[in-house]
Amino acid sequence: MRVLSWHVHSSWTTSFVQGPHDYLIPLAPNGDGLRKPYWPDAARNVPEDELADTEVDVVVLQSADEIEKTERVLRRRLGRDVPAVFVEHNTPRGDVPLSVHPLAERDDILIAHVTHFNRLFWDTGVAPTTVVEHGIPDPGERYTGELARLAFVSNEPVRRWRVVGTDLLPAFAEVMPIDQWGIAGEKLPPALGLPEGRVEFAANLAPHEMYPELAKRRAYLHPVRWTSLGLSLLEAMHLGMPVIALATTEAVRAVPPSAGAISADLDELVATARVLRDDPDEARRRGAVARAFALDRYGLPRFLERWNEVLSSVAR
């Protein structure tokens, strides 16, 4: 099939375009939407002004504002002239129990949630829904844990403060120093005001550059209160890292307790950090559990198989 999808979430798209279809990525006149060089040849750019004359079997949307934009460049109505799926990457915002999805009044576009938590908490009205859980390419088992430090990956951790659990970092930093990767991470150490070296900005790296650095750290820290499900958590588990995670949103499904620790009790999580600091063998054992679980539930084959089912069903 010819699948049109805008370049929005690079990490998710990297997995999505590994399937057996032709993936058409709109390219704006200013260069926005440029495909990543490491995507397969089946994922190709199509200039926006050529899309009206391009045959498309199904459209995959990732934000509400893409609906008008896609219909304008295709000159076709989504859900009527061409089938469409809306990928809901995010947890709802605002009055969460009562949050109404932007597509709640449309019964002609399938909403594919990336987590069961998302599907449960969004009010999607008459819109049909399904769940296609995340899947990522296996970066390989790289864990060494040679550095008694915690790894934390988050974009804009200062601006997003309590949402991503930045306020919880000092408790863990008392046990092990924390290295942070992500956009605007250089603002983190001065914002926390901790003694020098307890929390350090490592870099903002592409995933393939970050993997070997993550794998050197003793454990991965996921203190996020409110998120759909961070792909960096799944990447860390694939690497063979033990993980310490808040028991919130979809993490309770993604992280088995034997893969590290998952709890809403901060003291319990901090205590586990001490165990992993003092017992590298135990950290390695729990990391092996994390990797085995991630490969089974969040491996790329399962993800692509589910998307093939969804795209085929919608196209029919």
| DSSP labels, the chain | -EEEE----HHHHHHHTTSSSEEEEEE-TTSTTPPPTTS-TTEEEEEGGGGGGS--SEEEE-STHHHHHHHHHHTS-BTTTB-EEEEE-S---SSGGGPBPTTTT-SSSEEEESSHHHHHHSB-TT--EEE----B----------EEEEEEE-SSTTTTTTTTTGGGHHHHHTTS-EEEESTTGGGHHHHHTPSTTSEEEEE---HHHHHHHHTTEEEEEE--SS-S--HHHHHHHHHT--EEEES-TTHHHH--GGGEEEES-HHHHHHHHHHHHH-HHHHHHHHHHHHHHHHHHHBHHHHHHHHHHHHHHHH-
**Residue 316: what pLDDT?**
85
**Residue 94: what pLDDT?**
82
**Residue 9: what pLDDT?**
87
Which residues are CB-neighbours of 76 under 8 A, at least 6 positions away? 56, 82
**Residue 79: what pLDDT?**
94
Question: Tokens at residue 32, please?
Answer: 């926005």
**Residue 283: what pLDDT?**
98
**Residue 207: what pLDDT?**
85
Phi-psi sector, 103: left (phi>0), alpha (psi -120 to 50), beta: alpha
Question: Tokens at residue 37, please?
Answer: 């060089």
Question: Tokens at residue 170, please?
Answer: 């000092």
Domain 147-298 fold? Rossmann fold (3.40.50)
**Digitized pLDDT (tens) for each residue of the chain, 316 residues in all:** 999 999 988 889 999 999 999 999 999 999 999 999 999 999 999 999 999 999 999 999 999 999 999 999 999 999 999 999 999 999 998 888 899 999 999 999 999 999 999 999 999 999 999 999 999 999 999 999 999 999 999 999 999 999 999 999 999 999 999 999 999 999 999 999 999 999 999 999 988 899 999 999 999 999 999 999 989 999 999 999 999 999 999 999 999 999 999 999 999 999 999 999 999 999 999 999 999 999 999 999 999 999 999 999 999 8
Residue intervals of the chain classified under CATH 3.40.50.2000 are: 147-298
**Residue 95: what pLDDT?**
87
CATH class of the domain whose range is 2-135+300-315: alpha beta
